Chain A
Amino acid sequence: KAGVTQTPRYLIKTRGQQVTLSCSPISGHRSVSWYQQTPGQGLQFLFEYFSETQRNKGNFPGRFSGRQFSNSRSEMNVSTLELGDSALYLCASSLDGTRSNEQFFGPGTRLTVL
């Protein structure tokens, strides 16, 4: 069974631009969560989607948004990029996103904002 895939793997943008990242969960998994990892703040939860609905959201500004499609694939978008948005963005999939299920992570997208 294929793991979680994320595209692109690396991205360089300039301040003020916007970016869209994509995540394909493990087949059969319906929950997708997004996390941001920076050296200063560590791993922080962005949001979680299940059946095309955002169920949970972390403490990030509205510039960060996401969506999930009917095939469970998810995208996250960051608008008006700031230097501080440079980070590794990780997505994780689980069967149904309940607390009893393991979460499996993709390789991440490394975003650099210049």
Chain B
Amino acid sequence: SQQGEEDPQALSIQEGENATMNCSYKTSINNLQWYRQNSGRGLVHLILIRSNEREKHSGRLRVTLDTSKKSSSLLITASRAADTASYFCATDGNSGYSTLTFGKGTMLLVSP
């Protein structure tokens, strides 16, 4: 079953604009990770945010986590055509191990 649910399912923007994707999950977590996938290739790890963190930055990426609402958001600032990809959030659920549960992803299209 899907733990995370990304919103929106698809997002189309122009280069230079910001893109915001949201993720909601159901159970308690230890951490939440965001991944990018280009055209059915492997997943590229973007950022990990722990349950005791509220915000994290990495380059043009900003991730927030609200454990009370069981939600996270990924903001990509000043988007580029190369950011075109699908973005997934993944949570580790309740198991003691790193089994990840993924949402269905947000497909981002950045037009030049």
Q: Does B20 contact A (CB under 8 A)?
A: no
Contact with A along B17-45 (1 / 0, CB 8 A): 00000000000001101010000111111
Find A99's partner among B31, B42, B44 (CB 8 Å cutoff). Answer: B31
A92 to B98 Cα, complex, angstroms: 10
CB-CB under 8 A for A33 and B42, given A42-B104, A43-B88:
no
Pair B98/A33 contact, Cβ less than 8 Å: yes
Q: Which residues on the B side are within 8 Å of A55 (C-beta)? A: 97
Minimal Cβ-Cβ distance residue in A for B40: A88
Pair A103/B33 contact, Cβ less than 8 Å: yes
Contact with B along A59-96 (1 / 0, CB 8 A): 00000000000000000000000000000101010100
Pair B43/A99 contact, Cβ less than 8 Å: no
Pair B99/A48 contact, Cβ less than 8 Å: yes
- Min CB distance, A31 to chain B, in Å? 7
Tell me the total A-B contact number using a CB cutoff of 8 A: 75
Pair B45/A104 contact, Cβ less than 8 Å: yes
User: Which applies to chain A's interface (DSSP): helix, strand, loop or mixed?
Assistant: strand
- Min CB distance, A90 to chain B, in Å? 6
Q: Which residues on the A side are within 8 Å of B43 (C-beta)? A: 90, 92, 105
B interface residues, how many (CB within 8 angstroms): 27
A35 to B103 Cα, complex, angstroms: 13
A43 to B90 Cα, complex, angstroms: 10
A43 to B35 Cα, complex, angstroms: 12
Find B103's partner among A37, A42, A88 (CB 8 Å cutoff). Answer: A42
- Min CB distance, B93 to chain A, in Å? 9
- Min CB distance, A23 to chain B, in Å? 11
Pair A100/B30 contact, Cβ less than 8 Å: yes
A110 to B24 Cα, complex, angstroms: 29
List residues of chain A with CB under 8 Å of any chain B CB. Answer: 4, 6, 31, 33, 35, 37, 42-45, 48, 50, 55-56, 58, 88, 90, 92, 94, 97-108, 110
List residues of chain B with CB under 8 Å of any chain A CB. Answer: 2, 30-31, 33, 35, 40-45, 48, 50, 88, 90, 92, 95-105
- 16 A-B pairs with C-beta separation under 8 A: A4-B42, A6-B42, A42-B103, A45-B99, A90-B42, A92-B43, A98-B96, A98-B97, A99-B95, A99-B98, A100-B31, A101-B98, A103-B33, A103-B100, A105-B43, A108-B42
